[in-house]
Structure 1
Amino acid sequence: MAAKTIGIPSLVRSVARAFVVSHPLHITSNLSYHSRLGYLPLTAPTSSGLCHLTQAIKRDVDVLLKGVGDKNTIEEVKHILEMAGRASSRREILHTNFLTPPVLKESLLAVEKLADVKAVAQGGYPQAERCRISVGVPDVFSSDPDILAALSITGNFGYQPCSHGDFLGAILGTGIAREKVGDIILQGEKGAQIIIVPELVDFLISSLDKVGNVSVSCEKIPLIALDYEPPRTKSFRTVEASLRVDALASAGFKVSRSKLVDLIRQYLLFTLF
């Protein structure tokens, strides 16, 4: 029977090798791995073989999840790791929805441990808090995937200013799920700019007509037209007995460590990278 080449992520190569040895599949005499892609020459696996391989991938994901620091993010990180496994085996690029900063951080840390998977995070501008992650085999990426769109929401907000929550509430009120919406950049009296998944641009333009009591219009704009304020930074020197986040943040923000501990426990203060 002719052998069939099947791509297997490097994360499960050792498990796959053990499986092949212990099962009577027809294997070519020169069993080897192609160094970059991690291919293993096998005959088409039986349903039992696929079951064993699926279980092996699940075990490896479970191992990576043990290293997740923020336990509240485990389910979402697990979903992204499984997505990365599918992207690697199919040699394609898959994309997440918009992620919160804690999930983004933990997911990137976990995915980077996969040898055959590249992860790219995009939020529309450098300081974006909510980002989407694209995962796939490194040589499949030719450039950053086109997975973001920007809209300008304008209206007469001079007499009735609207907050971030007002804009978000109006957008979600059209039926769009929160994970489909990225950052909202307030523009004062002019309105706001938002990042959104491209497939919902036309829907939001036709559906959103009010924010609060202010009539609005929506227009698609290029990402390069986003008007955001660069972060303000201040440099200083300090000597601390520990590199703990609460110690460093206390020195930087001039806030007591006890107050910062509460913020850290609520995941309102954390390091991104």
Structure 2
Amino acid sequence: MKLEIYDHFHPDEREFVDRAWEWVVNAGEYHEVKLTDFLDPRQTFILKTLANRHPDVTIRLDGGYEDAERKRALIAPDYRVLDDEDMGLAVLSITSSDQKFTELDHGDYMGAILGLGIKRTKIGDIHVLDDGCHAVVAQEISAFLDLNLRQVHRVSVLTDILSISELRTSNTALEPLDLTVASLRLDGIASDVYRLSRSKILLPIKAGRCRVNWKTEEDPSKHLKAGDIVSLQGFGRFKVLEIDGLTKRGRYRVKIGKFV
């Protein structure tokens, strides 16, 4: 069964596939209930795929709001009603009176939290607001963060823990970028977005440091389409917003949104 499952996923995903299948089997066969850490959309897809293979398992996904990217999963026997179950979510509110506070971005907050020794899997979506930041976090680490987070990128901050119902969200900021490219290949578009030569963009892609729609992609010739989200470790993420036809010279017009 496991070998058959492996055929559907990238080799780098096997460790997570093993864990997810164990959660599903334990819920369906041994009536165990499992609350996971935060999963990215690719991991969520894998878990749902595996859960659908077992008739006696149900799952609930929650990241604090409807459009959450990162979510915790509750996996249980199918006779359990999960609607009112506690998903272990809390909101870390970060504020400051420092004038430089408004210059902080998503990466600054993420870096400060991870700098305390917190695993990325304990952190959900982070929302940068006009007057601060709301980060969805696992409830079990919220008190630690409240006690220890005192600085973000050399700016002194104050923290508070709020219930998930008090979460304020922000719209994802995308920096627009219009490109004309010879083809829709991953390496060609990525080299223009990140302003790297084609030879330099090949190295991280072939090393497994690139993801397309949260799935590891090692083929630089993969063609991108509208809606695809590409991330390159150390360089950030971008989304293909629109492919807008051809120029007179036969090049593709592509609208890109860089996550900022």
TM-score, normalised relative to structure 2? 0.64
| Conserved? CA contact 1:61–1:82, under 8 Å | no
- Does residue 209 of structure 1 match 2:153? no
For the residues of structure 2 that align with 1:89 and 1:77, how far apart are their CA atoms?
A: 18
- Would the alpha carbon gap of residues 231 and 196 (structure 1) be closer, same or farther in structure 2, given more than 3 Å must change? closer
Instruction: Please point out which of 66, 80, 100 is paired with 2:7.
Output: 66
Matches within 5 A, 1:253-272: 258-259=183-184, 261-262=186-187, 266-269=210-213
Please tell me the residue identity of whatever aligns with 2:3: D
- Give yes or no for contact 1:152–1:192 (8 Å, CA) kept in 2: yes
Unpaired segments of 5 or more residues in structure 2? 191-204, 215-226, 229-260
The equivalent residue for 1:101 is: 41
Q: Secondary structure at the match of 2:17?
A: helix
Per-residue deviation, 1:144 = 4.7
Q: Distance in 2 between matches of 1:158 and 1:105?
A: 41
Aligned to 1:151: 92
Q: Secondary structure at the match of 1:98?
A: strand
What residue is the counterpart of 2:59 in the other structure? 119
- Structure 2 residue 222 is matched with structure 1 residue 222: no
Cα distance in structure 1, aligned partners of 2:113 and 2:30: 35
Alignment of 1:73-92 (within 5 A): 73-92=13-32
| DSSP 3-state at the match of 2:21 | helix
TM-superposed CA distance for 1:168, in Å, is 0.9
Q: Would the alpha carbon gap of residues 221 and 142 (structure 1) be closer, same or farther in structure 2, given more than 3 Å must change?
A: same
Asked whether the equivalents of residues 37 and 72 of structure 2 are also in contact (C-alpha less than 8 Å), the reply is: yes
Cα distance, 1:186 vs structure 2: 0.6
**Quick one: distance in 2 between partners of 1:256 and 1:107?**
36
Instruction: Name the structure with the higher helix share.
Output: 1
Distance across 2 between alignment mates of 1:148 and 1:223: 6
Task: Determine helix, strand or coil for the equivalent of 2:79.
Answer: helix
Is this contact kept in 2: 1:205–1:219, CA < 8 A?
yes
**1:228 alignment partner AA:** T
Contiguous gaps of at least 5 residues in structure 1:
1-59, 233-252
The separation in 2 between residues aligned to 1:103 and 1:112, in whole angstroms, is: 14
In the superposition, the TM-score normalised over structure 1's length comes to: 0.61
Counterpart of 2:67 in 1: which secondary structure? coil
Bigger Rg over Cα: 1
Equivalences, count: 191
Indicate conservation of the 8 Å contact 1:174/1:208, yes or no. Answer: yes
Alignment correspondent of 1:199: 140
Cα distance in 1, alignment partners of residues 82 and 27 from structure 2: 15
Q: Which moved more, 1:133-142 or 1:256-265?
A: 256-265
Superposed displacement of residue 63, structure 1: 2.4
The Cα RMSD (Å) is 2.8
> Secondary structure of 1:119's match?
strand
Q: Percent identity of the aligned residues?
A: 28
Higher share in strand: 2
The equivalent residue for 2:247 is none
